[in-house]
Amino acid sequence: APPAVLAMIDRPCRSSAADATSAEAPPAFRLVPARSPQLRVTDLAVTRGDGIFESATVRDGVIHSEERHLHRFARSAAMLDLPEPDLDVYRAATRAAVAALDLPPGAEAYVKYCLSRGDEELTDVGPIGWAYATLSGDFTAARTEGIAVVLLDRGYARTVPATSPWLLAGAKTLAYAVNRAAVREAVRRGAQDVVFTTPDGYLLEGPTSTLVLRIGDTLVTPPPEVGVLPGTTQEDLFASLDDLGLRGEERDVRVPELAAADAAWLMSSVRLAAPVNAVDGVAVPVDHELTARINELLQTRTG
């Protein structure tokens, strides 16, 4: 098994911090053997997927986009009416896990951190969290040759964040079984990944990634208001567009714009920018040069 480090976060939320100031308070988190059993079978993350998570890239001991991820973690918690996570505790726990991972220079790793609402039985215990750091897979092929995608209707109108916030569109919850099912459907159709669409013909995102199109000298991505997760990778890229001589635009994007685009990518923290090379079985152009520049930029970001 690859090297891994696990930090259990016993005091993940500000509301559980009443005792945090007292001198005898136990530490907010502790490193435990990475593959030791920790969760009870009655944990709400297990029984209902009722919790939230983040996954951030780690390179040379640095957590990329650390603050964007922490900010989004708090946003997801608010969307689920979870107690506010203590971001100082999560920052310390994730950094401790990453430091203990001790990887060679240039190795790509990631840290995934979670917050569970608690336990069905242990109602007095409240939320618990954890942070798990380990080596990343090899995404070279996806980053260079690209990925074939299929368009799948997510069935939600692009107005759901406003009309039906209980659907949690755009929250990073631990309930990703639907996202996994969509990828299996893509594989059944001979592709590797998915671009979700709305019933009224708009593009959304991938099951674990943000959709970005290049149309001329503009990079276009659907806005969070349509029910997509705000992507940290896309945000980092859009913050560096001057370096690439491109402009950025967040706007509603119609389905036909994907096949007509000059280039398209699915972007995410760990896989980075994977160029789309086919849509529903039809080849689309890959901008190899820009893809390489984007991935180089993303690999060297630290902020």
Residues that bind ligand PLP in the complex, under the rule CB under 6 A: 55, 205, 208-210, 229, 231-233, 267-269
Long-range contacts: 64-68, Cβ < 8 Å, 24+?
Answer: 64/236, 64/269, 64/298, 64/301, 64/302, 64/303, 65/232, 65/233, 65/235, 65/236, 65/269, 65/301, 65/303, 66/91, 66/94, 66/303, 67/303, 68/232, 68/235, 68/236
118 or 206, CB closer to ligand PLP?
Answer: 206
16 or 210, CB closer to ligand PLP?
Answer: 210
CB 196 within 8 A of CB 208: no
Q: How far is the CB of 25 from ligand PLP (least distance, A)?
A: 32
134 or 208, CB closer to ligand PLP?
Answer: 208
The Cα 221–Cα 188 span in angstroms is: 27
Q: How far is the CB of 210 from ligand PLP (least distance, A)?
A: 4
**Three-state DSSP state, 247:** strand
Q: How far is the CB of 239 from ligand PLP (least distance, A)?
A: 13
**Number of other residues whose CB lies within 10 A of the CB of residue 229:** 22
28 or 186, CB closer to ligand PLP?
Answer: 186
DSSP code per residue over 5-27: EEEEES--BGGG-TTTTSTTPPP
28 or 147, CB closer to ligand PLP?
Answer: 147
